[in-house]
Amino acid sequence: MKKILVTGAGGFIGGHLVSRLMQENYKITCVDIKSFDNWFQIFDKNINHSLDLNNLNSCLNVTKDMDYVFNLACNMGGMGFIENNKAECMLSVLINTNLLNASKINKVERYFYSSSACVYNAKKQNYSNITGLKEEDAYPADPEDGYGWEKLFSERMCRHFKEDYGLDVRVVRFHNVYGPLGTFSGGREKAPAAICRKIAHAKITNQKKIDVWGDGEQTRSFMYINDCIEGILKIFFSNFSDPINLGSSEQITINKLVDIVENIANYKIKKNYLLDKPKGVRGRSSDNILIKNILNWEPDTKISIGLNTTYSWIYDELINNKSNSKFTN
């Protein structure tokens, strides 16, 4: 029985990954800095720890006797959080540094690092209708300030641990993951969850408009969580160790995202554009040529299908929360 460590297990992607891994014959240890009552998903069958992995001793303890490590732990959120907490985001480099060192010392067989599309050169993302970003577009380096630099630096650390110490690594660049059982309020949520929440809240409270950050013509690609988990496992158990995109190639504007959720909710609203809010790059989507060549697969859940499930979950969460007035724009 292989022993697996999942860090960031109390988070959105981590919780779904653990749930999927439990379907296989693995012994799973889950770690997150949050207290257990703040984990999105927690399973008594596993070994669960609430620990700060900025501490090397904690990393040494949880990686002992592990075969595989999935590192999804970092301090992150949506664009509002990333742009206003650059130093805090960069401190996540300590987690990856300590986990890599601990994995080397404890002779971990394979190590997974969750990177981000925020590593890509900003100059290649100045227009709404851009071609998908290829893996080589991360260089020359000009990533998202703070969060993107931390991710790019940590990618390089993984590469050099492979070259210098023989640690078998997998590095995956996530493009905007969404779905149920994740953050949808509080400032760390990403655009799909935020828009689902705003429209659901507007419908529940009979409001007629929502705030949209920017002019709504920014483009992104959004990957449903089931595709994300499938891709993680396919890449992890492949023989490919260089950084690779994991994202949908279905590029849409934020305005279109709002329109789709309106149709799902069967509730029309007006868009109140906030041009002074953080907007990120103008356009970003995933080029999937490499992942299709390596795996003969790519994420393919249409945004309308994934948003239907996501909106329904968020709507139910708001309905079941007695003080849903706190979920503002």
Q: With 0-12 CB in 10 A as exposed, 13-18 as middle and 19+ as buried, what is 193?
A: buried
Cα separation of 236 and 244, whole Å?
A: 11
Cα separation of 321 and 241, whole Å?
A: 44
- How open is the CA angle 166-170-172, to the nearest 5 degrees? 155
Evaluate whether 68 touches 113 at the Cβ level (below 8 Å). no
Residue tagged 């709504």 (tokens): 216
Evaluate whether 52 touches 193 at the Cβ level (below 8 Å). no
**Does residue 147 have an active-site annotation?**
yes
185 closest CA partner among 72, 14, 86, 323: 323
Structure tokens at 191: 């655009």
- As a residue count, the chain comes to 329
Catalytic residue chosen out of the listed positions 111, 113, 120, 147: 147
List active site positions: 147
